[in-house]
Amino acid sequence: MQYTFPEDLYTDVRVEHLFSTQIVYTLRTLDECKVRQYSAAFIRLFDGDRWYYASTSDLNAVQAEIDALAKLARKPSRFQDPQLQDMKIHQNFSSHKETKLIFTGHQVSDVPLEDKAAFLETLIPLVEQNEYIKLWRLIYVDAYKKKEFYNSKGAALTWNVQRAGYGVSFQMADGDKQFRESFQVGKTRFEELGGHEDELAALLTECQSFLLDSEAVDPGLYPVVLAPMVTGVFTHECFGHKSEADFMIGDEATKKEWVLGKKVGPEELTIVESGQIPGMGYVPFDDEGNPATVTYLIKNGILTGRLHNAASAADLGEAVTGNARAINFEYEPIVRMTTTYLDNGTKSFDQLIAETQKGIYVKSISHGSGMSTFTLAPLRAYTIKEGKIDKPVRISVISGNVFESLSCIDGIANDREITAFVTGGCGKMGQYPLPVGFGGPHIRVRDMQIQ
């Protein structure tokens, strides 16, 4: 693709070609069967002071959009000293030239829609056989996206990303007793989706017990053992978003609070972020054309890194990390996570439980959030009594202080798993859902507020 970029301004063009599928069965009825395909572009232009954006679904109109934005930006008062080319942010813009198409030949667009629907139908008997399930829904989703990136520094990149997966959500009821849960499998290729039927069957059995036997929790402060998926959400919400450096631009208090080198957790605590890991968070190049890196956010309890786009890296005087991401062609890239995980410790899950006299084990959650107070909304949770998992309990919300919680981690197991919510994703600044990976091992956190 050849574009004429205006002189003395920075310009980039991100083209995306999308193929996606969504199939939904509810109680045996096909509710949705949708294929979406489009090609579209997002254009950015920077005059040294302000950004100008436009999006278009007409690829023949990209040059016209560039020219129109250039007219908006070409205001002499906007040019500052130093010249744009000398600015740190300009140095952070990509000049890479590369093609990385790892999904070519394995594209979900090559799998017939009938095969995808048929795969989903194989799960129906499993869900239907449980007498307490009153409402169930099966969702298959896939998305293949080929991206191209060009900018006025000469960058020329082509890469592809892909995801395929399914979710089973179900609602159990027995009189006034209600319980809902879901099961998700997220991969990068359609042919990898099979073979999880036993896990689903075991989950249904466990949920039935939970429906019939769960009790309301006694509110209070407890040590809480988190399952790997929950650890992943905890890491993402409680710490991951704080490491996104766009929030720090021009904010001295935040910079001071999150200064690199600060001890924020126990010696055993390491949190890693990487767009190179296969899965939902695989992002070989970010939406500014910078390659994915491996970033140690916390190493041995010490704050060692954070996530950047070109602007935040320039503001903080650090290196770009390949974390500028947009959910689609209608949005500008902002600093986002890719795959974020808490690394393995040395204990076993059994040790974590055995060391806990009175606590809570959280096996699954419906959502989490992280501001000054972070939250986790448990679905399956159990009391821990005298070193053993005891009774199922219903909990509305678990909360804790973001600034203290990492130092409250007092046990990390060695059974790390990396997963993703394939039917959802991460939300930030109105951009939802963005595919991300997250994970970790079982961990134990002291003094969490249970309600």
Partner 1 sequence: MIKETYCVKSKRTTLSVTQNTISAISKSDTVKTGIRLYDNNNGGNDGNGGNDGNGCNNNGGNGCIGIAGAIGAYDENRLVDHAKQMLKFKIPYPGQPAAEIRRKVDLSDSFALTEEEFVAASEHLLEILRQKYPLFSFNHKITYEEEEMLLHNTCGAELSYRDKHVLVQLMIKHRNSKNLYDSFGLSLTRGYDVDDVVRTVGETCACYDEKVDIQEGKMPVIILSDHETLLGKVSTELHARKMGTGASLFSEKIGQKLFSERFSLCVDRDPGEFYHCFFDAEGTTLPGNRFMLIENGVLKSPYTSKKLAHDYRYAVTGSAAGAYDSVPDASGGGLSVMDSGKRIKELLGGRTAVCVVIASGGDFTPRGEFASPIQTAFLFDGDRLCGRLPQLAMSSHVYDMFGKDFIGLATDGNSPLNPFKYLAVDMQVKKIGDWV
φ, ψ at 64 (rounded to 5°):
-65, -35
173 binding partner 1? (CB under 8 A): yes
Write the CA distances from 197 to 32, 73, 107, 125, 201, integer angstroms: 23, 56, 24, 11, 6
φ, ψ at 196 (rounded to 5°):
-115, 15
The number of residues that bind partner 1 (CB under 8 A) is: 70
Return the number of the residue (278 or 433) whose C-beta is nearest partner 1.
433
Return the number of the residue (344 or 399) whose C-beta is nearest partner 1.
399
Site string for partner 1, 318-357 (x = CB under 8 A): ------------x-x-------------------------
394 binding partner 1? (CB under 8 A): yes
Among 3, 8, 53, 206, binds partner 1 (CB under 8 A): 53
Among 158, 208, 351, 449, binds partner 1 (CB under 8 A): 449
Instruction: Name the minimum Å distance from CB 188 to partner 1.
Output: 24
φ, ψ at 20 (rounded to 5°):
-145, 155
447 binding partner 1? (CB under 8 A): no
Give the Cα-Cα-Cα angle 149, 153, 158 (nearest 5 degrees).
Answer: 20
The 3 state secondary structure assigned to 13-78 is EEEEEEEEEEEEEECCEEEEEEEEEEEEEEEEEECCCCEEEEEECCHHHHHHHHHHHHHHHCCHHH
369 binding partner 1? (CB under 8 A): yes
Considering only residues 113 through 152, tell me which ones interact with partner 1, judged by CB under 8 A: 113, 117, 134-135
Query: How many CB atoms are located within 10 Å of the residue 425 CB?
Result: 18
207 three-class SS: helix
Question: Is-contact 98 290, C-beta < 8 A?
Answer: no
Among 128, 213, 251, 350, binds partner 1 (CB under 8 A): 251
Site string for partner 1, 206-235 (x = CB under 8 A): ----------x-------------------
397 binding partner 1? (CB under 8 A): yes
36 binding partner 1? (CB under 8 A): yes
State the DSSP code for 244: B
Write the CA distances from 346 to 413, 415, 444, integer angstroms: 6, 9, 13
Q: Which residues of this chain interact with partner 1, rule CB under 8 A?
A: 26-27, 29-36, 38, 40, 50-58, 72, 113, 117, 134-135, 171-173, 176-180, 216, 241-242, 247, 249-254, 257, 330, 332, 366-377, 394-397, 399, 401, 403, 429-430, 449, 451
